[in-house]
Amino acid sequence: MFPCGSPVILANAMSKLSRREFAKLITAAGVGANLPVASETSDRTIAIQVGAVSFVDEGVAPGLDRFQKDADVNTLLIATFSYGRGIAGRQVPGQPLPDHGKQEYDVNFHGGNFARTHEQYYTQTSLKNIQAPDHAGFDVLERVLPEAKSRGMKTFCWYEDVFRPDLDGIERLQEVTVSGKKVNTLCFHNPEVQAFWQALTEDYGHSYPVDGIMWGSERQGPFGNAIGASHGGSGRDPLLVTCFCEFCKQEAKARGIDTVRAMEGYRKLAALVDQTLAGSRPADGAFVSCWRLLVDYPEILNWEKLWNDGQKLAYQNIYKTAKAIRPDLQVGWHIWHNNSFSPFYRAEQDYAEFRSYSDFLKVVMYNNCGGPRLASYVKSVSRTIFGDFTPDEVLAMTYKIQNFKEANLQDLPHSGLSANYVERETRRALASAGAVKIWPGIDIDIPTAADEKKTEPGDVREAVRAAIRAGAQGVVLSRKYSEMRLANLRAAGEALRS
Ligand SMILES: [Zn+2]
């Protein structure tokens, strides 16, 4: 018999303690023999990224049933806003459909806001016509929140910095390249862009009883882009780097940075990159030539920092906005996978700095697709700044700098990265994050090319175990349920229960 008797008292006691603490207490009292023992997983955040289409296709209750039963999920990261297929929509066309959901590609995917858009919040931005037309009348937050709450699951809005060029009013917000072209990305130093992120955050925070928000921006500054320092960065026109709009020029002026010199520096950098991409070695080599430019034109790195500071402004803006609505809203960020590849980008993601505007970080540690992606990064920079080295040498150097060691370049796209990489990256994040919670992003069936690494249940089990072993306070099953195979999803649950 339980001494307190009443199930209400029991529930109250449980709500004040974590389930694990509660389980310890009743075990110590010798009274818990017949009560269900709380699993180790219950005070961790076990999150899954899921888009509206999955609830439309498979139903809200059946979807949540599966997440709870198969993977012990207690938190939903719902893709509420994106124009990209990385987190919204069904499986990417050309990739095999998973063993659940509608067996059909959504070739007419559009994207936008998958919750209802409340106009009153968007008075300070011309970008306001953002309602996703994909599932007319289906407000994903309105439909999912009550069902999630009744099960004790938390719901987070997950929104990202991905746009399309055909939206009303978007031109005013777009970035401008060093060659003067407008592009599809939005400028963080443009007040309307910050007003847009503030509006969307206010809309979610005021309109819905959500538990938190996560925002992501998979972009880097002009230096990283000019030298192709990212997966998929190869062959990008080095003159398409951003941003040189009027707002950025104003910001530069305020900082005492000479815009003309900065643009000249980036044009010279582009010319150098074009030369090395064409396979022609500068007389002093690629690295020395690049470094010389950085010394001659410190404005190049000044502009890189100016861009990064704009992105940080967005983090701070969203954080402040959310906390002003409700201080208990949990606010955190998706940290781009490039953090695992490019040391230039990694240097700019300072976890200690994130402490002042973050409750949690979802650090991407996608180990399976990490193989082909790391290989892609290596091939790209071995044609630019590291053009003096062979790709194999660049990979060896990258392992040393990033402090993990995996397969050689030939095998890497097929082997992926191991769970050891997940463990090392988790420990590295925890070492600097202070009170900020670290929730590693776990790769479940993120698309790769036909002959590249595919996720298997053992990969998911090992990656989840590695994250937990390293001390992570949660995991985020990624990127979207609509591309996950069920055996791989169940493997996450197996790891958490083992
Ligand atoms: Zn700009």
- Residue pLDDT, tens place only, 486-497: 999 999 999 999
pLDDT of 13 above 70: no
Give the integer Cα–Cα distance in Å for 154 and 65. Answer: 14
**Nearest residue to 268 via CA among 300, 230, 236:** 300
CA 342 to ligand 1 center in whole angstroms: 23
CA 190 to ligand 1 center in whole angstroms: 6
**Residue 171 token pair:** 């031109």
Is 36 or 329 the better-scoring residue by pLDDT? Answer: 329
pLDDT of 16 above 50: no
Confidence of residue 159 (pLDDT cuts 50, 70, 90): very high
pLDDT of 8 above 70: no
pTM: 0.91
Is 494 or 236 the better-scoring residue by pLDDT? Answer: 494
Residues 360-371: what's their mean pLDDT?
98
CA 377 to ligand 1 center in whole angstroms: 26
The tens digit of pLDDT for each residue in 177-226 reads 999 999 999 999 999 999 999 999 999 999 999 999 999 999 999 999 99
Where along the chain do its domains lie?
1-38, 45-497
The tens digit of pLDDT for each residue in 407-438 reads 999 999 999 999 999 999 999 999 999 999 99
CB distance 490 to 70 below 8 Å = yes
CA 191 to ligand 1 center in whole angstroms: 10
CA 245 to ligand 1 center in whole angstroms: 4
pLDDT for 42 equals 59
CA 183 to ligand 1 center in whole angstroms: 11
CA 177 to ligand 1 center in whole angstroms: 9
CA 200 to ligand 1 center in whole angstroms: 20
CA 310 to ligand 1 center in whole angstroms: 9
CA 306 to ligand 1 center in whole angstroms: 10
Strand partners for 186 = 174
The torsion region of residue 2 among left (phi > 0), alpha (psi -120 to 50) and beta comes to beta
Evaluate the CA torsion angle 272, 273, 279, 282 in order and state its sign.
positive
CA 178 to ligand 1 center in whole angstroms: 10
The tens digit of pLDDT for each residue in 29-50 reads 444 333 333 344 458 999 999 9
Residues 138-152: what's their mean pLDDT?
98
Q: In the CATH scheme, what is the code of domain 45-497?
A: 3.20.20.80
Question: Dihedral, CA atoms, 187, 366, 236, 221, nearest 10 degrees?
Answer: 30
Please give, one letter per residue, the 3-state secondary structure of the chain. CCCCCCHHHHHHHHHHCCHHHHHHHHHHCCCCCCCCCCCHHHHCEEEEEEEHHHHHHHCHHHHHHHHHHHHCCCEEEEEEEECCCCCCCCCCCCCCCCCCCCCCCCCCCCCEECCCCCHHHCCCCCCCCCECCCCCCCCHHHHHHHHHHHCCCEEEEEEECCCCCCCCCCHHHEEEECCCCEEEEECCCCHHHHHHHHHHHHHHHHHCCCCEEEEECCCCCHHHHHCCCCCCCCCCCHHHCECCCHHHHHHHHHHCCCHHHHHHHHHHHHHHHHHHHCCCCCCCCHHHHHHHHHHHCCHHHHHHHHHHHHHHHHHHHHHHHHHHHCCCCEEEEEECHHHHCCHHHHHHCCHHHHHHHCCEEEEECCHHHHHHHHHHHHHHHCCCCCCCCCHHHHHHHHHHHHCCCCCCCCCHHHHCCCHHHHHHHHHHHHHHHCCCEECCEEECCCCCCCCCCCCCHHHHHHHHHHHHHCCCCEEEEECCHHHCCHHHHHHHHHHHHC
pLDDT for 9 equals 42
CA 113 to ligand 1 center in whole angstroms: 24
CB distance 453 to 415 below 8 Å = yes
CB distance 399 to 406 below 8 Å = yes
Long-range Cβ contacts of 62-70 (<8 Å, 24+ apart): 63/481, 64/144, 64/147, 64/148, 64/151, 64/153, 66/100, 66/486, 66/489, 67/153, 67/481, 68/151, 68/153, 69/493, 70/486, 70/489, 70/490, 70/492, 70/493
CA 171 to ligand 1 center in whole angstroms: 12
CA 246 to ligand 1 center in whole angstroms: 6
Residue 156 C-alpha from the chain's centroid: 14
| Rg, C-alpha atoms of the chain | 24
CA 261 to ligand 1 center in whole angstroms: 16
**Nearest residue to 193 via CA among 111, 124, 97:** 124
CA 316 to ligand 1 center in whole angstroms: 18
Give the integer Cα–Cα distance in Å for 135 and 482. Answer: 15
Quote the percentage of the chain above a pLDDT of 70.
92
pLDDT for 369 equals 98
pLDDT for 43 equals 87
pLDDT of 86 above 60: yes
pLDDT for 235 equals 77
298: CB partners within 8 A, 6+ apart: none
pLDDT of 59 above 50: yes
pLDDT for 75 equals 98
* Degrees to nearest 5, angle at CA 359 with 355 and 365: 85
pLDDT for 6 equals 43
Residue type, position 357, single letter: Y
pLDDT of 236 above 90: no
Residue type, position 302, single letter: N
Q: Answer whether the bond into residue 292 is a cis peptide, omega within 30°.
A: no
CA 289 to ligand 1 center in whole angstroms: 28
Give the integer Cα–Cα distance in Å for 380 and 421. Answer: 21
pLDDT of 26 above 50: no
Give the integer Cα–Cα distance in Å for 320 and 342. Answer: 30
pLDDT for 439 equals 98
CA 266 to ligand 1 center in whole angstroms: 15
pLDDT of 23 above 90: no
pLDDT of 234 above 90: no
Q: How many CB atoms lie within 10 A of CB 366?
A: 24
Q: How many CB atoms lie within 10 A of CB 209?
A: 11
The tens digit of pLDDT for each residue in 254-297 reads 999 999 999 999 999 999 999 999 999 999 999 999 999 999 99
Give the integer Cα–Cα distance in Å for 145 and 210. Answer: 7
CB distance 334 to 215 below 8 Å = yes
CA 197 to ligand 1 center in whole angstroms: 16
CA 121 to ligand 1 center in whole angstroms: 23
CA 322 to ligand 1 center in whole angstroms: 25
